[in-house]
Structures are given as structure tokens and as C-alpha cells.
Amino acid sequence: MKTFIYLRTTAFIFALIFVCALHAQDIVSQEHDFFKEFKELQGGKERSKFFFETQNRYTNNSAYDWLDSVNVYLNTSKKTNDSIAVIDYQLIQSQIYYDLGDYEKSLAITKSLYDELNLFELEIKTIILELMDTNYSKLELYERQFEIRSMKRELGLTENIMFYDIYSNLGQYRKAMKDYIAEQKSLIEEGDFYAKANYNYNVGNYLRLDKSVPTALSYFKKANAFMDVYFNDILSDRTEQELVAAHVLKGKILGNIGKCHVLDKDYKKAISFLEESVETINKYNKGKFSSDLIENSLELAQCYLQLNDFAKATDYLSEIDTPRKAANILKKNRLYAAYYDRTGDYKSSSTYLKLNVRIRDSIEDNDSKIINQQLTSVLNQNLENSRNMLEKQKLALEKSRIDIIEKDKSISLVFISLVFTLLGFAGLVYAYLKSIKNQRLIAEQKHIIENALVEKDSLLKEIHHRVKNNLQMVSSLLSLQTKNTRSKAAIEALEEGKSRVKAMALIHQKLYQNDDLSVIEMQGYIESLINSVQSVYKKGGHNINITIDAEGVELDIDRAIPFGLILNELVSNSFKYAFPNDENNGKIYIHIRKPSGQEGFFEYTDNGVGLPEDTEERANSSMGIRLMNRLANQLQTNLNTDRTANGVRFWFNFK
């Protein structure tokens, strides 16, 4: 009995110490003025190190306060030509913009540093690449993510490039979960409760997104239990940064449990989890933009709306910052529409519903195609990684084969030595072994020839890939020259040159992406070319309706490059001159037909302002028109021009 009382007393004392420690830790965290300590430090290097090691840095001062001070330090460093400090403050600036959810500004800063990545130390490279990776993910530019992750692998920052997060963003939740489990499950140590909680949270989230609610809920409950064990483990030493991350994860887990109850329409039960989640994330993720916070607040608004508590529903809706994701914008508008419908304000309800229809139409026009393109890129990148692994395995097998051949030679020498002692028997054995060896060599030669054919295709793709990269480098050099040029005419000339280089680079990109290296599918190439030209002429071109009729047309590289350059000139001219007022009814029509064994036909029309009266005089001085005529000569044809009632028409026949 005394032993039992002693154990209970000891347990109570330990629990009391633990509660006091947590309370003291919260007090210290609240009283700690990170912003003041940051400003008291000297130099960009010390401030950068402190900033990136401080997890909950916006506790007492907002991110905007930090940004104002960093801007002052940055300007001072620029004036004193302290280039190292300038880089440190730019990285801090980029991280603050990311925390605020302004991913485009954050990315713009890191992209300017990425061009000089080789000049930096590994620590700076790591920060730049991590910021670019996360920004590209938030902006849904997954193809760019691949480039960054490949660079991280080359620098040794990660051994394998995994894509389960991107698969999830593209709606492939089951595949994402399968890859995540295969990669992460074996890496979790037995006593690492935080890692176990994070693992179960991620698996549960993939299942929730895939609408497998009961199974997802079981994983979230396991994750929550592991977090409770993690916080109750008073024997382990943890940094403040680790504790803040753990509390944020706890908030996300509770939020997802609430979301599962919402999907089960158990709104009363969902509210307690969602409110605790919002409170936790607000406390430990203070000052940072959080999509989880927005989603949980929307879920709470939905719950209270379903329970006819309109006051609380509108409180949560009004507190939500402007969502970044289209799905959250649509949900917020849908909840407002439902609220006004239930309160009898049908006009306001109709307004929000119409707003959602416009947003959804805009999204549906582009999202499906973009998602398919990005998913294709993911699969291609994954396939490329698999090929690289197979290549490494092939080299290992080749080494093993060489070792076996060397051993075979040693064995042959042994048999040759036996010839001198056993002439008759050894002769027969030698002849027999030689015939076997010849058969093996024949088989090996056949295998080598087959591999040579495969390698030929691989080398051709690699050549086109490198040519494309070199042309992109030329384009980058032209961009740098443009930034250092003040003459408007020179800038326009450089931009036109860059556009032409991009048109040729696209040809080589399409070639190494094709299974058939001899031809280019023109429909996809022209679409990519149009997107490239639109990115140059941001002011015009986005309100123009462009119709491309080249389905099924395939051209070899000798004809595709002149075609691409001619189209580049025509589309660029249309964007620059044909629609000076950026009309919404502007139209461009591109038509190519090439029946098998017959003469082909090309036609380009727009309904712009048309050609000026002195077109023939300009043809002698305009580089673009002279270039198109020479390119047409390469195609053994002449470029014809017709003025129409609305716009202009260019056409020619080709072989």
C-alpha cells in the first residue's frame, strides 16, 4: 500500500514539474522579443542565421515590421557596396514574402540570385533552392520544381527526388500515398513519436483528399495520439523551434479530424476540433500565411451555417483573409450565397453564385489542360529517374560481366596449361570450350549491337537536349543584355532575337521529348510557341483568340525550324501592331495541312488593323519581313500577302 502511495506521489510530482515547465516555456516564448534581438545583432550574416533559426519569430512583431527593418538594412548595404550582406538580406526578404503568402515576390528575389548560384556557399545555395522549391509548389509551377530538385540532387542536398507531394497537388492522391509510404515508412525510428505522427498525418491526408473518410480518420487519430506521447515525453530535450513545429502539426491534425467529421456531416463534433486547430495554428504560426487556417475557418463557417448559427458563421467568413487557392475562393463565395439564401437576401445570394460561375468557367478553361501537361511532365521526370537508375544498374552488371570474362580468361589459361600434360584429352576439351566461348561472344556481340541502337536514340535525344539548353543560355544572355541596355530600339531588337532563339529551342525540346526523333508534331509545337511569345509580350496577346489548325501535321527539323521562325515573326507582329487597343475580339487563325505525298499549304490571318500603305517600302527595310522571305526561300516557296477587309493574310504552298 505504501509503495502504491509512493508511486502515485512520484507520478504527481513529475506531472506537476512537466506542467510547470510547459507553462514556463510558454511564458519565456511570449516574453522573448525576437525582433529586438534581431535588430541588436551586427551584420547580415548574424542576422540571417538568427532569422532562419527562429521558428516563431512573428510572436510580438508582425512580418511587415520585420520587412521594414530588413529593407532599411538592405538599402544601407547597397549604399556601402557590402555585396555579402545584400545577399543575406535578400534571402530574409524572400522568406518574409513567402511567410506573407506573396509567393511571386519571394520567387522574383530568389530567381535573381539563382542566376549566380555557383558563386555562393552551400548554405546559401540550400536556402535559395528551398525557397524556390516551395514557391514553385505554391504557384503550381511543377515543371520548374523539377529543375530545382535536380539541382538539389546534383549538390548532394538530397539523394533521391520524390514526387509524391506533386502527385497529390495534381489530384493523384493514391499514387502520392503509395510513393510516400514506400519512401518514408522504413526511415522512421522506433522512438521518434513526432516522425510517426507526421507520417500518419500525411497518409491520412492523402486518404481524406481521396474521400476515404473512415480510414483517414483512423490515421489522424493515431497521429494525434503520437503527438500526445511526444508532448508528454519530458525526458527528451527539444529546441523551441522543434516545439513550435510540433504544435503547428498538432493544429493541422486536429483540423483534419474536424474536416473528416464535416464530411460525415457530424457538424457539432467537428466544431470542437476545428476551433482548437484554429486557436493552435494562430498561436504558433503567428504572422505567417496558412492555407490550413483558411480551410479550417471555412469549415467552421460551414458547420455553423448548417446548425443555423448565422452570427458565428458570418464571423468566421468575415475574419478570413483573401484565399490564395481557387477552391477556397469558390467555397467562401458558396457559403456566403447559402447564408444570404437562408436569410432571404436572394439578390446577394445570386450575386455570389454568379461570381462563382465566372470563376469556375475561367478555371475550367485552363486547369484541365495545365494539369494534364504538368502530370505528363511529372511522369516523364519520374521515367527519366528510373532510366538513370537502370543505367547505373546496367553499368554495375557490365562491370560484373567484365569480371566474369577476366575469370574466364584465367580458367582458359589453366586449361591451356593442361594441354601440355594431357595432349589428346586437353585438345578435345580446348576445342569444346572454344566453341562455347565463340557462341557466347556471338551472343554478346548481338547484345552490344542491340544496345548500340538504343544508345544511338539516347545520344540523339541528349544532343537535342543540349542544343535546347545552349539556345536557352543564349536567350538568357540576351535577357541580361536587355537589362543593361537603355536604348528602346536595342531592347526591342534583343527581345526579337530572344524570341527567335526560343522558337528554335522549342524545336529541339520537342525532338528529345518525342519517341520519333525524325519529325515534330506541329500542333503541340505551335501551341508551345504561342505561349512563349505571349510571355514576352505581356501587354498584348492575352485577350486575343488564337485558333490553331495543324492537327496530325508532322514536319522534319529542316522544315520545322523555318516554319517556327516565320510563325514567331507573324505572331510577334500581330501582338505588337495588329491590336493597338488590346481588343477583346482580336482573332488569329493558323492553318497547316500536309497530305501524304502531296504539296502542303500554310495560312496565317488576323483581324487586326492590317498592313500600312507603304508595306512594300517597309519590306526592303524591315528585318522581320526580309527574314520571313528568306525562310520561305529555304522552304522552296514564296511568302504571299493579301490585305483583307479585316486584317491581313499570309500564305504559301510548300513541298
Of 455, 487, 517, which residue constitutes the final position of a domain?
A: 517
In a domain? residue 427? no
For residue 464, the number of C-alpha atoms closer than 13 Å in the C-beta half-sphere is 22
Q: Residues 497, 592: one domain? A: no
Q: What are phi and psi of 247, to 5 degrees?
A: -65, -40
What's the CA gap between 219 and 200, in Å, rounded? Answer: 5
From the list 470, 452, 615, 59, the residue with the least C-alpha distance to 283 is: 59
What's the CA gap between 540 and 342, in Å, rounded? Answer: 44
Q: Residues 513, 538: one domain? A: no
From the list 601, 623, 615, the residue with the least C-alpha distance to 648 is: 615
Q: Which residues contact 439 (CB under 8 A, 6 or more apart)?
A: none
What's the CA gap between 48 and 31, in Å, rounded? Answer: 22
Phi-psi region of 640 (alpha: psi -120 to 50; beta: other; left: phi over 0): beta
Average pLDDT over residues 486-499: 81
Q: In whole angstroms, how far apart are CA 468 and each of 77, 508, 558?
A: 38, 5, 16
Q: What is the mean pLDDT of the chain?
A: 81
Of 491, 517, 543, which residue constitutes the final position of a domain?
A: 517
Does the structure show a pLDDT above 60 at 512? yes
- Please classify residue 484 by burial: count the beta carbons closer than 10 Å to its beta carbon, then call 0-12 exposed, 13-18 middle and 19+ buried: exposed
Of 473, 493, 517, which residue constitutes the final position of a domain?
A: 517
Q: Which residues contact 574 (CB under 8 A, 6 or more apart)?
A: 544, 588, 606, 608
Q: Residues 557, 504: one domain? A: no
pLDDT by residue (tens digit) across 177-195?
888 888 888 889 988 999 9
Q: Residues 540, 609: one domain? A: yes
Domain encompassing residue 629:
533-654
Q: In whole angstroms, how far apart are CA 409 and each of 78, 405, 419?
A: 69, 6, 15
In a domain? residue 445? yes
Q: Residues 511, 537: one domain? A: no
pLDDT of residue 156: 80
Q: Residues 558, 506: one domain? A: no
Q: Residues 618, 649: one domain? A: yes
Q: Residues 452, 500: one domain? A: yes
In a domain? residue 479? yes
Instruction: Grade residue 593 by pLDDT with cuts at 50, 70 and 90.
Output: very high
Question: pTM here?
Answer: 0.48
Dihedral, 211, 215, 220, 222 alpha carbons, nearest 10: -170
When divided into structural domains, the chain yields a total of 3
Q: Residues 474, 561: one domain? A: no
Residue 584, Cβ neighbours under 10 Å: how many?
9
In a domain? residue 485? yes
Q: Residues 459, 555: one domain? A: no
pLDDT of residue 481: 84
pLDDT of residue 18: 46
DSSP per-residue letters across 123-176: HHHHHHHHHHHHHHHHTT-HHHHHHHHHHHHHTTS-SS---HHHHHHTT-HHHH
Instruction: Grade residue 541 by pLDDT with cuts at 50, 70 and 90.
Output: low
Average pLDDT over residues 473-486: 83
User: What CATH number should be reported for the domain holding residue 560?
Assistant: 3.30.565.10
Q: Residues 538, 504: one domain? A: no
Q: Residues 457, 545: one domain? A: no
Residue 174, Cβ neighbours under 10 Å: how many?
14
Q: Which amino acid is at 61?
A: N
In a domain? residue 556? yes
pLDDT by residue (tens digit) across 442-469?
888 888 777 766 776 676 667 667 777 7
In a domain? residue 599? yes
Number of separate helices (H) and strands (E) present in the chain:
24, 7
Q: Which three cell numbers stand for residue 164?
A: 509524391
What's the CA gap between 38 and 307, in Å, rounded? Answer: 47
Instruction: Grade residue 538 by pLDDT with cuts at 50, 70 and 90.
Output: low
Does the structure show a pLDDT above 50 at 27? no
pLDDT by residue (tens digit) across 347-368?
888 888 888 777 776 655 555 5
Q: What are phi and psi of 149, to 5 degrees?
A: -70, -35
pLDDT of residue 240: 83
Q: Which three cell numbers stand for residue 230?
A: 511526444
Instruction: Grade residue 650 by pLDDT with cuts at 50, 70 and 90.
Output: very high
Counting residues of the chain whose pLDDT is more than 70, the rounded percentage is: 84
In a domain? residue 578? yes
In a domain? residue 649? yes
What's the CA gap between 424 and 489, in Å, rounded? Answer: 91
What's the CA gap between 281 and 248, in Å, rounded? Answer: 6
pLDDT by residue (tens digit) across 375-434?
566 556 555 655 665 666 677 677 777 877 877 777 777 777 777 777 777 777 777 788
C-beta separation of 181 from 203 below 8 A: yes
pLDDT of residue 202: 92
